[in-house]
Amino acid sequence: MNTTQLRQNFAPRLVAWQKQHGRHALPWQGGANGDAYPVWLSEIMLQQTQVETVIPYYQRFLASFPDLKTLAAADQDAVLGHWSGLGYYSRARNLHAAARQIVDQHGGHFPRHIDAILALPGIGRSTAAAITAFAFGERRAILDGNVKRVLTRVFGIDGWPGEKAVENQLWALAEILLPSTDIQAYTQGLMDLGATVCKRGRPQCESCPFSDDCIANVQGRQRELPAARPRKSVPERSTGMLVLLNAGEVLLEKRPNTGIWGGLWSLPEFAESENPLAAAHRLGYQAVLADELPGELPAFNHTFTHFRLFIQPWQLRVERALSAAEPGRLWLSLDELDGAALPTPVRQILAGLR
């Protein structure tokens, strides 16, 4: 089959495959009926995160914030607490900010016009298209990581998809392939095919509806396509973290809304060159290395998208405060950590104390 024929037959073949083999029991499927809130929530959570990881977070989040107005009225700490462990916390902050913007500007109703959706924090072209397709049945192209992988392999598109010229080529192809009907099944089919069959590491080509026509499969180029991001050395940073304990409570600091772990509660940090006792003193606490506590806790690495962070925790016992507590700090009982908005490595450190 030539490329023109494949483009013409791509959508109906994908829709037929999705209806028979695709995913139909995901918790955010089947109940939209024009209510974009569950669709929007799931699409934001699914950005750079696998379905299996998202499902329990989605269910807990929806149980606490069942509709858009409830989310808008919630405290940011409560929202981030429900997101804790899911990563990429700017998604949660943007979701919360967008909910408040929708209440202020759209009367609490999720907008239907694409320009108004794109004006919301944290929503780009592909996410907006997915929301309108699933919630409102609109005919719009999506292009997330799974879709890029499917299209580059089936149609043999060379180059790293993150490069602007390659991405523009993929967007043009995605627009051409759109069907005039069955847009929801088609959109879901693209996601399902990329997530369950056309996998990054071990594609299951024998289960693919395009196996006989896929250029990557026919030419044995599954490992080459899509092309990998050009290699760059991963920068490394290091930090010390103070675990200051007093009467079964630990000191936490609120991080700025921008940067890593924005808006979350974290352990106070100090530089490698600074003595941990001096760091505690700088924060306004007289602390000691206690005989019953290990002072230097095991160090470990935590990897972000763009750098690797080496963390060295120190555990100290606070004997007394040297000054009044500053805003943005709190003492939290070790028994109350489960619902707190904590970064994953901080939660790991504190879990060891319990």
- pLDDT tens across 101-110, in order? 999 999 999 9
Predicted local confidence at residue 325, as pLDDT? 74
Helix spans in the chain (H) = 3-21, 36-45, 51-64, 68-73, 76-83, 90-106, 114-118, 125-136, 145-155, 164-177, 183-192, 215-218, 276-283, 344-353
Mean pLDDT over residues 107-129, rounded?
A: 96
Average pLDDT for 24-29 = 94
What's the pTM?
0.84
* Residue from 43, 175, 274, 319 carrying the catalytic annotation: 43
Position 33 pLDDT exceeds 80: no
Q: What is the mean pLDDT of residues 224-228?
A: 95
254-302 confidence digits (pLDDT tens)? 999 888 899 999 999 999 899 999 999 999 999 999 877 788 999 999 9
Q: What pLDDT is stored for residue 64 in this prediction?
A: 97
Q: What pLDDT does residue 142 have?
A: 98
Cα–Cα nearest to 261, from 343, 345, 346: 343
pLDDT interval class at 1 (50, 70, 90) = confident
Whole-number mean pLDDT of the chain? 94
**Per-residue pLDDT tens digits for 51-96:** 999 999 999 999 999 999 999 999 999 999 999 999 999 999 999 9
Q: Which residues touch 117 (CB under 8 Å, ≥6 apart)?
A: 110, 111, 123, 128, 131, 132
CA atoms of 102 and 195, how far apart (whole Å): 31
- Split at pLDDT 50, 70, 90, the class of 352 is confident
Identify the CATH class of 236-353. Answer: alpha beta
The pLDDT of residue 327 is 87
Residue type at 183 in one-letter notation: I
Q: How confident is the model at residue 31 (pLDDT cuts 50, 70, 90)?
A: low
* CATH topology match: 3-218 vs 236-353: no
Clarify whether 43 is annotated catalytic: yes
pLDDT at 30 over 80: no
C-alpha radius of gyration, the chain, whole number: 24
| Domain definitions of the chain by residue range | 3-218, 236-353
What's the CATH architecture for 3-218? Orthogonal Bundle (1.10)
Q: What are the b/e assignments for 181-192, b being 16+ CB within 10 Å? A: ebbbbbbbbbbb
Q: Write out pLDDT tens, residues 151-192.
A: 999 999 999 999 999 999 999 999 999 999 999 999 999 999
Helices (H) and strands (E) in the chain, counts: 14, 8
Q: Which amino acid, 152?
A: T
Predicted confidence at residue 354, as pLDDT, reads 65
Confidence of residue 3 (pLDDT cuts 50, 70, 90): confident
Q: Tell me the mean pLDDT in the region 334-345.
A: 90
